[in-house]
Amino acid sequence: MIANKKEGIPDALQWIAAGAGLFLAASAVYNQLTKFNCRDKVVLITGGSRGLGLELARQLGMKGAKLAICSRTEKQLEKARVELATEGVDVIALRVDVTNRAEVKSLIKDVVNHYGKLDVLINNAGIVQIGPQQAMTLKDYEEAMDTNFWAALYTIHHTLPYFFKQGGGRIVNITSIGGKIAVPHLLPYSVSKFALVGLSEGMHAELKQHNIHVTTVVPNLMRTGSPRNVLVKGDSEKEYAWFKHSDSNPLMSQDVQVAARNIIRALEYGEAESILGVTAKLATVVKGVAPSWVSALLSITNRFLPGTSAENSEQRRGYQAESKRSRGPISALTDRAAVRNNEL
């Protein structure tokens, strides 16, 4: 009888393996059958004139999507529109301040009036403020929340009535690893992204029953060229240098084209969450398993970041803080990305 039991174990394992294989195959077939086709879908991308937003517009345009991009910067917006239109993309560009609720309401109406519908909303607009906590004011936190949280809530709020009416839609919220782990010298940014992660996850849970799929995208640093346009406080040259080098380093940051492809895949398959990059995935897992380790590591990291004083608390743009410290062969990757992605 013992021998029979031993003989039965391999048989059981074979049945388990076969069942798992069948399940995976069935899942793959189901995913392909239910895959969202972007062709002829109307996609609104906030912050679509540069950086990640522009790269998403390029790739979605190549898939045949009809695009609406918006931004506060008219010159960059028009340049992006011309580039996309030259490639044969059906695109409209709208100058909008997404922190203004009335303008957002008009934006959604304008897109629907132009195309007759709206299928996908991608909340990509955002700002990054860099500097020590002592240099940050309440206004800095308010500005971060206005752009990184409230703007996304405004667009979602004014888009949902159209989605309910047409029987479904898709929302992609670009959050950040800074919305999972509070990074030193990025506190206003992290606070606002934590709020957006919570909003996005809650919307996913509540809206799926209405055929509205909400995807929370959690990127790590990516090479878009965006450091030029960040807001810097404290010892601005040193603050900008550490951020730009981190954003440029291939070991810490992701190529924006790869990131955009992964985001679009998450949109197509209706994924609840998409964490981009090995570093972000590892950091998220470690934070969940051993949060005290992450806190200790961040505290140590903070000791190596620049200090501040009352004399150097003025806010500057990244390109205004450029110096020898922020130049080099690695940071040149960000400079080249800035040219390609309309960040100049």
The pLDDT tens digits of the residues spanning 123-151 come to 999 999 999 999 999 999 999 999 999 99
pTM of the model: 0.91
Task: Output the pLDDT for position 10.
Answer: 65
Instruction: Give the pair of three-digit tokens for residue 72.
Output: 């506060």
- With b meaning 16 or more CB within 10 Å and e meaning fewer, what string describes 3-32? eeeeeeeeeeeeeeeeeeeeeeeeeeeeee
Return the H-helix or E-strand segment holding 159.
helix 151-166
For residue 301, count other CB atoms closer than 10 A to its CB.
12
Q: Is 162 in the active site?
A: no
| Cα(218)–Cα(249) distance, integer angstroms | 18
Least confident of 7-16, 188-197, 298-307: 7-16
pLDDT band at 2 (very low <50, low <70, confident <90, very high): very low
What mean pLDDT is predicted for residues 107-131?
98
Contact 49, 56 (CB under 8 A): no
The amino acid at 291: P
Q: So what's the architecture of 36-340 in CATH?
A: 3-Layer(aba) Sandwich (3.40)
Kind of pairing between the strands at 231-232 and 129-130? parallel
Q: Is the pLDDT of residue 201 over 70?
A: yes
pLDDT in tens, 276-333: 999 999 999 999 999 999 999 999 999 999 987 655 678 999 999 999 999 999 999 9
Could you tell me the residue ranges of all domains in the chain?
36-340
Closest CA to 182 of 294, 318, 313: 294
Return mean pLDDT, the chain: 93
Residues facing residue 172 across a β-bridge: 122, 215
Short-list 157, 158, 61, 149, CA closest to 108? 158
Model confidence at 66: pLDDT above 90 = yes
Residue whose pair of structure tokens reads 């008219």 in the numeric block: 74
Helix axes of 51-62 and 74-86: crossing angle, nearest 10 degrees: 20
Tokens 């005290």 -> residue: 292
- Under 8 Å CB-to-CB from 161, ≥6 apart: which residues? none
Cα-based distances in Å from 319 to 225, 248, 255, 312: 11, 15, 21, 17
Selecting among 115, 189, 269, 319, the annotated active-site residue is 189
